[in-house]
A and B are shown apart, each in its own frame.
Chain A
Amino acid sequence: MLTILFDGIAYGMLLFILACGLTVTLGLMNFINLAHGAFAMAGGYITVVLMNRYGISFYWCLPASFLVTAILGLVLERTLYQWLYKADHLDQVLFSIGIVFMSVAGADYFMGGQQQLINLPPELSGRMDVLGVGIGRYRLFTVVVCSLLAIALQLILSKTRFGSRLRAAVDDRRVAMGLGINVPLVFALTFAFGSGLAGLGGAMGAEILGLDPNFPLKFMIYFLIVVSVGGTSTVSGPFLAAMLLGIADVAGKYYVPAIGPFVIYALMIVMLILRPNGLFSRGIGR
């Protein structure tokens, strides 16, 4: 029982790290980026290649996948995404679906369609008993890393100058620009950071979520639920939404395997009926 709860928390943490970049993209530029999962997949594949082909330690692969996907995100943002901020949502959806298709086929071409496996370092594999609760070591590692990241994110957003600029830009882009904040720059950096986080999430999640070319399609709905249930204005909203989703999904698949896959959809519909504007909406429909 507690083991499942713990697994659910680890899963939810991963979802949060994967999706939080998306919340900023959406909140700041009102850009619906369905291709967010593609960045996560890129991070996962980078780790797989570095570890299995070049034998680099898992711990070095994580920052590497963060950096590479962040740069990838920055490049794509400057070359392609920035032209579409003013386009309507249909264009954005089509564009990002196009990116998803390309990444799916590309991953299939370069890496093959099979599930990728990574060999975890020995100290991270296996389980241990803590007060009679079986806890996977790797899941514990995930929870620790993700909570540190979440705390760091919250601190960056609330304490640093960059964070306050970002929040100002999210709240009112035009006024923020009037105050001399370089919103496009803030956004480019945030986009890169968010993509990097997705990459990191993909790298860490390769073990738990699995990694194959269909990753961006499979997890698109999870990201959308996290973002639209959690709202785009805070860190805590998506965090709670991700935890809720993670725990519900894991518990549902464990306790009622027959209807397990439907738990998240049921959750989505209940959320829509109870809180159509997200868990912590500010009352303004964006």
Chain B
Amino acid sequence: MSLVEQEDAGALATTDAATDSRAARLMKRRSRIRLYEVAIWIAVIAAYFVLPSKMLILTEIAILALFAVSLDLVLGFAGIVSLGHAAFFGLGAYVAGLLALHFVAEPVTGLVVAGLITGLLGFLTSFLILRGSDLTRLMTTLGIGLMMAELANQMAWLTGGADGLSGFSLNPIFGVFEFDLFGKTGYVYCLVVLFLGVMIMRRIAFSPFGLSLKAIKSNAMRAGMIAVPARKRIVTAYTIAAVFAGVAGALLAQTTSFVSPDVLAFHRSADVLMVLTIGGTGYLYGGIFGAILFTLVKDALSIVTPQYWMFWIGLILVVLVLVGRERLNRWVDYLPKRMAGREDDR
């Protein structure tokens, strides 16, 4: 081997190492913990002490946030518009409710089982998602959502039909922390689950796996050309999202000790899309911000017009879209650079 060749090889090795470390640095920069993340977690913990009388609505926000974050994995990263994400939410709620009614009343076991079963449904249905265009996906997801709602309605012997599932109570969490009347334990419980869920999804979303999902979203064919197995990735992401949506549903069933057929209703799927629109897609925390805003707005509206709040929600949606989601979500850009630190590669 001549000296020149050796030098070449050496140079090649260093460029390789350099690209490697550049990629590593990029990944590290992407997954860096940002200031607003810390701020939001401090805020939700502080809410426990500052707003002791608002536990129920805070719990509702935490559950909706987990649900929305799970959809963000599908929508914001993999780019699949789903009209039937409530199918998983509702299934999780029913599984948790039935489990508490007939088998074990320990909440964490319920969560795990609900997550596993909805994950199975997500895995099975994800193969239908792979087919066709955006339109067929809308049809499929909407169809699956409606089918689950119809199933719950028809299997009244199991689910209680239109009356819903009630009459179950839960044991203390791990046998230690008992659910209290004011929902304090419930809030902390939901918060812990939300935190764990978001951290797991964050790890997934900001890994090379998450990057490859974004590549598929931008252009599935090109992603395939750089050897990203698009189908496999979408199946995985959809299944994970289903698991967490199911966990969110299970949380709702456990904290309210009631499952109504409403958990599978179409408006839930639409609500969660709207939550993500308000908060912004593609960075996970949009689900949390959106959930806070959405729940407060909906709460205020349902006090003002108990029957017709749907109209105002619809109006907000139309205005949101016409004004432009991008313009709306750019508020993060106005934060100081260090604080926002968002990537430009959305």
Contact = CB atoms under 8 A, between A and B. Distances in A.
Interface of A: 26, 32, 34, 80, 83-84, 87, 89-91, 93-95, 97-106, 108-109, 217, 220-221, 224-225, 227-228, 258, 261-262, 264-265, 268-269, 272-273, 276-277, 285-286
B242 interface: no
Contact of B318 (A98, A105, A220, A262): A98
A277 B132 contact: yes
A109 B321 contact: no
Given A265-B146, A268-B139, 20 more contacts: A32-B138, A80-B322, A89-B81, A91-B325, A95-B317, A95-B322, A99-B314, A99-B318, A102-B311, A104-B310, A105-B310, A108-B308, A224-B139, A227-B135, A261-B150, A262-B151, A265-B147, A272-B128, A276-B131, A277-B133
- Chain A binding surface, main DSSP class: helix
B273 A97 contact: yes
Given A261-B150, A268-B143, A224 B318 contact: no
A272 B132 CA distance: 8
- Chain B binding surface, main DSSP class: helix
Nearest to A224: B139
B143 A94 contact: no
B317 A228 contact: no
Given A32-B135, A89-B81, A101 B143 contact: no
B307 interface: yes
Interface string B117-152: 000000000001001111110111011101100110
A217 B140 CA distance: 15
Residue of A97, A105, A106 most packed against chain B (CB within 10 A): A97
B211 interface: no
30 contacts: A32-B134, A80-B318, A84-B321, A87-B321, A90-B277, A94-B320, A95-B317, A95-B318, A97-B314, A101-B267, A101-B313, A102-B310, A105-B308, A105-B310, A106-B311, A109-B308, A221-B139, A224-B135, A224-B139, A224-B142, A227-B135, A228-B135, A228-B139, A261-B150, A262-B151, A265-B146, A269-B143, A272-B128, A276-B131, A285-B132
Contacts of B317: 94-95, 97-98, 101
B243 interface: no
Contacts of A228: 132-133, 135-136, 139
A285 B133 contact: yes
Given A98-B321, A265-B147, A286-B133, A93 B314 contact: no
Contacts of A221: 139, 142-143, 146
Interface of B: 75, 81, 83, 128, 131-136, 138-140, 142-144, 146-147, 150-151, 154, 266-267, 270, 273-274, 277, 281, 307-311, 313-318, 320-322, 325
A10 B161 CA distance: 32
Given A94-B321, A98-B321, A105 B314 contact: yes
Contact of B321 (A95, A258, A262): A95
Nearest to A105: B311
Contacts of A261: 150, 154
Contacts of A277: 132-133, 136
Nearest to B135: A228
